[in-house]
Structure 1
């Protein structure tokens, strides 16, 4: 995948799409192999280094009922990763 391109991963339910995404983001540890992002192997990388790289990664789930938390507004859901990564200034 080249800079500026987007990857769409499709497949039947239960085929491993979400597991693949979580493994790329290192939310799950792979049992073998490498995950190379911007020339760096993410497997075994320190949490602090991963946190910096995750600012430029995102998983988008197709099922909004599995993705959205009914206890939060859409604004709160969108703001959460922006706040976590300190990508805002002011309100």
Structure 2
């Protein structure tokens, strides 16, 4: 399976607290074009993208439990992302992040 091969190459795992703020995973230790895989477990949440220099250019992608999202290429250079806040109560959500270092 293609996903299994790529996940095995990803070396660093992170479990992080989601703060709902716009950000880029732009750390020099991951290189200029990091490869990041993200597995979502639990409550479906919207994953938002917006252009770093043109905030009107936005996209939203629902991430149901078991979703695998790859971020690579110039995404961290030119786009910001976040898990959207919600006005309705949400159940728990866990995100596992893997980075190629």
Pairwise same-fold verdict (TM > 0.5): no
More helix by share: 1
Bigger radius of gyration, 1 or 2? 1
Query: Relative contact order (C-alpha < 8 Å, sep 6+): which is higher?
Result: 2
What TM-score do you get using the length of structure 2 for normalisation? Answer: 0.24
State the TM-score, normalizing by the size of structure 1: 0.25
